[in-house]
Structure 1
Amino acid sequence: MMHAFAGGAPALDFAGTLRYRHRSDPREDMHSPLALSVWFRESGILDRDIPCDAADLREALTLREAVHHLILAKMSDRNPDQDTLTLVNDYARRPAPVPQLTPDGQRHVVDPSAAQAFAAIAQDTVSVLGGPEAALLKECGNPECSQVYIDRSRGSRREWCAMDPCGNKIKAAAYRARKRMNALKAASTRSR
């Protein structure tokens, strides 16, 4: 897979395509029209790659930043910017992909388009942020990672967007720090 899907909802994963937002050099996963097309397929919104162009990519990045703004506003319990809210709601009113069942039992999207995929993302944004799971939104505990996810774990104790790489990275760093501390304590005890 070209893209990561740790958020638990397409809207969160879409907003997460600009990774490591807290760093001075965030990583852009939507770097080309092809990357956008692949994201639509890998996310499950569409069942195949579709032709996307530079205009679709610009539109995707605009929608992504609007969705990200709404997520942050919801998590901080503040009202979002009205223009951003209007933009996402306008997309949510548009027709989403139309899935059909083929004779062999496969899901098939009829005449898929970027416009339909954008509508599906906006509709998912409305569902997540306007639904009961909005209270379960968390940002990854890795200080460099900015992925927001739905914490469906028992007792809401999940700390990372995913174990690989974030959880593993933090756990390994904590282990090395404990090991260094134990080595320092042992050396201090021996020198007495």
Structure 2
Amino acid sequence: MDHQHVFVCGNPALDFAATLRARRSVRFEMFVTPDRLDAWYVECGLVDTITPADKGDVEQAKALREAIYELVTARRLGQEYGGEALTVLNGVARKPSTSPQLTPTGRQTEATPDQALSTVARHAVELLSGPDVPLMKECGNPECTRVYVDRSRGMRRQWCGMESCGNKIKAAAYRARKKSAPTVAAR
């Protein structure tokens, strides 16, 4: 399976919220088909195998994703939670979640799309009620709308990830400096 999803946020719920990218500008949707949603659950490591999702599962996943993003943004900005977003999150979190099984070769987690989604919702509940709340930051790239958990020393991390945003910003800043640097005339 070729990996098309990126996991840089430090929490599955934040990575899930980031599957709608560049929300302030182009809005790039990662869950375009049910198989992209299935791939996310497997690539994230929440499940080993999943019953294939359908269009309805994708719509439910998008609804949960938007609720998580809204709640994370509210918590980050010190605002009240929206009632509808809370209802969506708690409704999904109430459903049965994934349950890992021990096999002779190690752990195996099989799930339905509903169970996988519930697991994401429970991660969001834990995140938003836990010790990582003060560590949540939005990426410093103005085009990026990912929120991540900053566990760096002194909370100095600026970007969701060096590969995804840090290198782009640094390269752009370097080009801007080169362009504005006065040229030294040869004597």
Q: Which amino acid is 1:131 matched to?
A: G
Cα RMSD for the two superposed structures: 1.3
| 1:10 positional shift | 0.6
1:157 counterpart residue number:
156
Counterpart contact for 2:140–2:159, Cα < 8 Å: yes
Q: Structure 2: how far apart are the matches of 1:99 and 1:43?
A: 15
Cα separation, 1, equivalents of 2:54 and 2:69: 22
What TM-score results when the alignment is normalised by the length of structure 2?
A: 0.94
Deviations 1:119-177 (A, max 9, x none): 11110001111101011000111110011100000000000000012000011111112
Q: Report the equivalent of 1:126.
A: 125
Rg larger for: 1
Deviation at 1:179, TM superposition (A): 1.6
Equivalent residues in 2 for 1:1-192 (5 A)? 1-23=3-25, 25-104=26-105, 106-110=106-110, 112-182=111-181, 184=182, 186-187=183-184, 190=185
Structure 1 ranges of 4+ moved more than 6 A:
none
The residue type paired with residue 108 of structure 1 is Q
Hey, which of these two has a bigger chunk of helix by percent? 1
* Structure 1 unaligned blocks of 5 or more: none
- For structure 2, list consecutive stretches of 5 or more residues without a partner in the other structure: none
**Do 2:63 and 2:88's aligned partners in 1 also have CA atoms closer than 8 Å?**
no
Counterpart of 1:138 in structure 2: which amino acid?
Answer: K
Q: How far, CA to CA, are the matches of 1:150 and 1:46 in structure 2?
A: 22
- Aligned residues with identical type, % of pairs: 46
